Amino acid sequence: MFPVVQASDLNHGEHGGTRGNRRRPPGFDTHFVQPDNRIVAESTLTRQDLRSPLLRRSFLKPYPVAVRGEGVYVWDADGNRYLDFSGSAAVNFIGHGVREIADAMLEQARRLEFVHTSQFTTPVAEEFAAELLDFAGVRFRGGAVYFSCGGSESIETALKLARQYQVEIGQPTRYQVLSRNQSYHGSTLGALSVSGNKKRREMYLPMVCEFAHIGTPYCYRCDFDCADGCRNCGQQYAAELEHAIEAAKGETAAFIFEPMSGATLGAVTPPPGYLESIAEICGRHRVLLIADEVMTGMGRTGRNFAVEHWKVAPDILVTAKGLSSGYAPLGAVVASKKVVDAIATGSGAFLHGFTYNAHPLSVAAGRAVLRRIQSQNLVHAADSGIAGMVGSVLKTSLEGLRDLDVVGDVRGLGLLWGVEFVRDKKTKQPFPPERDFAGLAGQAALRRGLLVYPMQGCVDGVAGDHLLIAPPAVITGEQIGEAVDQLRAAILEST
């Protein structure tokens, strides 16, 4: 089923500006061609019309058909252009359609498409591992990298690595991985077990292992009602970890956390001193610290990895998304020397593996992406603390939305921002969840050719609406201005 171009749309070429060139003004009914050539208006689509041989994410909405990408833009089959203001789902960092990445993959495919990691290693995987360790900084010197096909697989890998580490060092009773409420670490069952995202895990709860979850600092809605701008509550939140470790009576293998909360809370940054205390508590209790930088890694927050903002050194760092910027399925677990040494000098083998780990094409894509990040100075560009960088322009532009009645909070770092909506600004009361305010605003933005990432549940797992904004680092100040204008109009239209 493909959207059809309508008479009123015909002058909307793919090179027009975002503003004023959309073919679907608010209320406009898009039409879709069915496989049997029937033309059906979006408003009259039934679930049957929305069936497809592809098991899509939802049977409740039609999807535009994406056919091309370039820079910050994606085009659909009708020639409609979308400004990718969310980097898909905080994935794309270097921009769409970069030819040198495709060339690197093609060259690798022509030379060697695949070997199994039980039989061979490859130059491309070895070289990229060394480069990534270097990018991760001195704290990972002497460590090693495990490549997988994405975030969830990498989280599974990190959980098992942490458990095996404890067994190797003579601590076989340690197997629990503590984590935080309102977190998200992936969709596989192990990753879901340490996630706190209520909606994404509730249905599968009977199937997942349950370990303790502690609170996540969320300064806009601080549990401790701080009157000092959350300058001191970090210690109180961190104390929850100490209590959870003590309650687990010597069975804790690791603690996993997102340095900045990603999709679930919407780019929430930790209060001062919090992560430093978390790291200190883990070290004191010999609990491994796993930083989930699937979303925040590879420059997204204006540092190579977000933990650098707080000078925290995790034992294991997980990254994905921006690692290949979406050009190939790729994730990585970066393990410190301490962790690698335990296995190398212990049993001698990591008891884990996927057929496609360290796949040569994905690794070739990741390697070319890292080169691009470095040659174009994209981490610097993403820094919201340096005037003139696009990170800083994005910060200022999004903060301008605070004057809207429904915008309660704008928060983030670098090129990762959250805009939270409220029904009442004074009381911070959220919209009723059934209204799906974030979803409405996301759809209104889409109709204006703007891609954002709507989420619900930031308040308590069910209520609370926000949008995640995470554009590629190649976005210009002018494009940010256009995007924020469209976002403002989309929010107003949904109010």
Q: Which one, 260 or 490, has the nearer CB to ligand PLP?
A: 260
Taking CB under 6 A as the binding criterion, the range among 112-120, 160-168, 257-265, 462-470 that sits at the site for ligand PLP is: 257-265
Rounded CA separation 324/114 (Å): 18
**Closest distance to ligand PLP from the beta carbon of 322 (Å):** 11
**Closest distance to ligand PLP from the beta carbon of 212 (Å):** 19
Nearest residue to the partner ligand PLP, using Cβ: 151
Which candidate, 307, 380, 416, places its Cα nearest to that of 89? Answer: 416
Q: Does 322 bind ligand PLP (CB under 6 A)?
A: no
Q: Does 151 bind ligand PLP (CB under 6 A)?
A: yes
E strand map for 243-284: 252-257
Q: Which two tokens stand for residue 54?
A: 């592809």
**Closest distance to ligand PLP from the beta carbon of 153 (Å):** 7
Q: Which one, 3 or 418, has the nearer CB to ligand PLP?
A: 418
Q: Which two tokens stand for residue 458?
A: 């930031």
Q: Does 152 bind ligand PLP (CB under 6 A)?
A: yes
Q: Which one, 186 or 412, has the nearer CB to ligand PLP?
A: 186
Residue 206 backbone dihedrals phi, psi, to 5 degrees = -65, -15
Rounded CA separation 471/293 (Å): 17
Neighbours of 435 (CB within 10 A): 15
Q: Among 9, 76, 168, 258, indicate the residue that binds ligand PLP (CB under 6 A).
A: 258
Identify whether the C-beta of residue 289 lies closer than 8 Å to the C-beta of residue 279.
yes
Q: Does 320 bind ligand PLP (CB under 6 A)?
A: yes
**Closest distance to ligand PLP from the beta carbon of 391 (Å):** 19
Q: Does 292 bind ligand PLP (CB under 6 A)?
A: yes
Query: Using CB under 6 A, which residues numbered 168 to 227 contact ligand PLP?
Result: 184-187
Q: Among 155, 178, 253, 445, indicate the residue that binds ligand PLP (CB under 6 A).
A: 155
Taking CB under 6 A as the binding criterion, the range among 35-43, 234-242, 291-299, 300-308 that sits at the site for ligand PLP is: 291-299
Rounded CA separation 302/489 (Å): 28
Identify whether the C-beta of residue 65 lies closer than 8 Å to the C-beta of residue 3.
yes
**Closest distance to ligand PLP from the beta carbon of 375 (Å):** 25
Sign of CA dihedral 404, 406, 409, 413: negative
Instruction: Write down the residue that tokens 């921002």 correspond to.
Output: 417
Count of residues in contact with ligand PLP, rule CB under 6 A: 16
Rounded CA separation 54/67 (Å): 16
**Closest distance to ligand PLP from the beta carbon of 293 (Å):** 7
Rounded CA separation 130/209 (Å): 34
Rounded CA separation 169/122 (Å): 30
Q: Which one, 320 or 438, has the nearer CB to ligand PLP?
A: 320
Instruction: Write down the residue that tokens 């503590």 correspond to.
Output: 178
Q: Among 230, 263, 363, 459, indicate the residue that binds ligand PLP (CB under 6 A).
A: 263
Query: Using CB under 6 A, which residues numbered 87 to 146 contact ligand PLP?
Result: 89
Q: Which one, 91 or 441, has the nearer CB to ligand PLP?
A: 91
**Closest distance to ligand PLP from the beta carbon of 186 (Å):** 4
Coil, helix or strand at residue 266: coil
Q: Which one, 184 or 220, has the nearer CB to ligand PLP?
A: 184
Q: What would the DSSP string read from start to end of 16-47?
A: S-STT--S--TT---EEE-TTS-EEEGGG--T
**Closest distance to ligand PLP from the beta carbon of 43 (Å):** 31
Q: What would the DSSP string read from start to end of 33-90?
A: E-TTS-EEEGGG--TTTT--SS--S-SSS----EEEEEBTEEEETT--EEEETTHHHH
Q: Among 178, 214, 267, 295, indicate the residue that binds ligand PLP (CB under 6 A).
A: 295
**Closest distance to ligand PLP from the beta carbon of 216 (Å):** 12
Q: Does 262 bind ligand PLP (CB under 6 A)?
A: yes
Q: Which one, 22 or 303, has the nearer CB to ligand PLP?
A: 303
**Closest distance to ligand PLP from the beta carbon of 434 (Å):** 25
Which candidate, 193, 109, 188, 180, places its Cα nearest to that of 149? Answer: 188
Q: Which one, 166 or 195, has the nearer CB to ligand PLP?
A: 195
Identify whether the C-beta of residue 81 lies closer than 8 Å to the C-beta of residue 14.
yes
Q: Among 159, 167, 219, 294, indicate the residue that binds ligand PLP (CB under 6 A).
A: 294
**Closest distance to ligand PLP from the beta carbon of 320 (Å):** 5
Buried b (16+ CB within 10 A) or exposed e, 7-24: eebeebeeeeebbebbbb
Which candidate, 441, 458, 469, 410, places its Cα nearest to that of 184? Answer: 458
Residue 405 half-sphere exposure, CB side, CA atoms within 13 Å? 7
Residues that bind ligand PLP (CB under 6 A): 89, 150-152, 155, 184-187, 258, 262-263, 292, 294-295, 320
